[in-house]
Amino acid sequence: MKDPPVYVCICHALTTTDIEDHITAGARTPLQVGKRCGAGTDCGSCVKKICAILRAADDEAGNIDLKIAG
C-alpha cells in the first residue's frame, strides 16, 4: 500500500502525489519538475526531496537524469 501524500514544496503547496504525477507526465530532472509546477524554484528547500522522488521513480522505471541545472 502506498504512503499517503505529504507536502514536498510548501511554497507551491505541492505533495508527493503532485510531483509523482509530473514525473509520470515526463519530467526527468528537478529542473523539469520545476518548469512544470514551480517546485524547487522559490526557496529551494524541496529540491533534495524532489531528487529522492525522482530516484524512487528511477528504481521503478529506468534512468532519470538528476542534474539540477543545464
Tell me the CATH number at 52: 1.10.10.1100
26-57 pLDDT tens trace: 999 999 999 999 999 999 999 999 999 999 99
Per residue in 4-30, is it b (16+ CB within 10 Å) or e — as a string? eeeebbeebebebebbbebbeeebbbb
Domain housing 24: 7-61
Coil, strand or helix: which one is 40? coil
- Provide the whole-model pTM: 0.81
If pLDDT is split at 50, 70 and 90, which confidence band does 10 have? very high
- The mean per-residue pLDDT over the stretch 13-37 comes to 97
Structural domains in the chain (count): 1
